[in-house]
Amino acid sequence: MSAVPNTFENVKAVILSAHKGTTSKEKVDFYNSWAENYDQLKNHGFGHFVGVDGSEAMLEVARESGLYQDLKQVLLGEDPLPVQWENAFDVVVIVGALSVGQVPVCVVRDLCKSTKPGGYVCMTTRSNRDNLEYKASLDSELRQMEEEGLWTCVEVTQVKDWEKAVSEHEDGYISGAVYLYEKLQV
């Protein structure tokens, strides 16, 4: 993949190819092939980073960055997070995975479980037509967890021009949402 220039149309074609795959293995194969072009990690003064990915190639790129102290190969929603990560993190971030065909909505419970009481979980999802049913399920799960006293919503920001559309029936930009929740002291 590295020989192909990263124009928007090329990236769009690559992303569409990933969404055509239906099995976890097909999705992991996609990210394995995309990993060498994906590294955009930057260190902004935070002290301890850990990460998970289903793709070993993506994890290798992350290792080479020198940013992460611990990396695990985990298919979110299929594999459990390491037990030592329970109540372990001040901030947990998931970007680009909470959408139809990626990880199941139930993953947000694992993210909350990994966060220290008083810590934050930041999540993103798309609000485009293809993701509306998933987003509704996600919103419902987030509210349910709030009702259960697991966390409280700090902010939800709707972003009109979230990202360039990659769906075959959408043009321009699609909308998205950023969620920030604080884990409560249990």
Go through the domains of the chain in sequence order and give each one's CATH number.
1-75 (no CATH), 84-186 (3.40.50.150)
Alpha-helix residue ranges (DSSP H) falling in the chain: 8-20, 24-34, 56-65, 107-114, 132-147
Chain segment 9-68, per-residue pLDDT in tens: 665 565 555 555 567 777 677 666 655 554 446 434 566 789 999 999 999 999 998 888
Tokens representing 13 are: 């074609």
Q: Quick one: DSSP state of residue 117?
A: E
- Taking a C-beta distance cutoff of 8 angstroms, is the pair 47, 70 a contact? no
124, containing H or E segment: strand 115-126
Chain segment 95-120, per-residue pLDDT in tens: 889 999 999 999 999 999 999 999 99
pTM of the model: 0.75
Reported confidence tier of residue 167, pLDDT bands at 50, 70, 90: confident
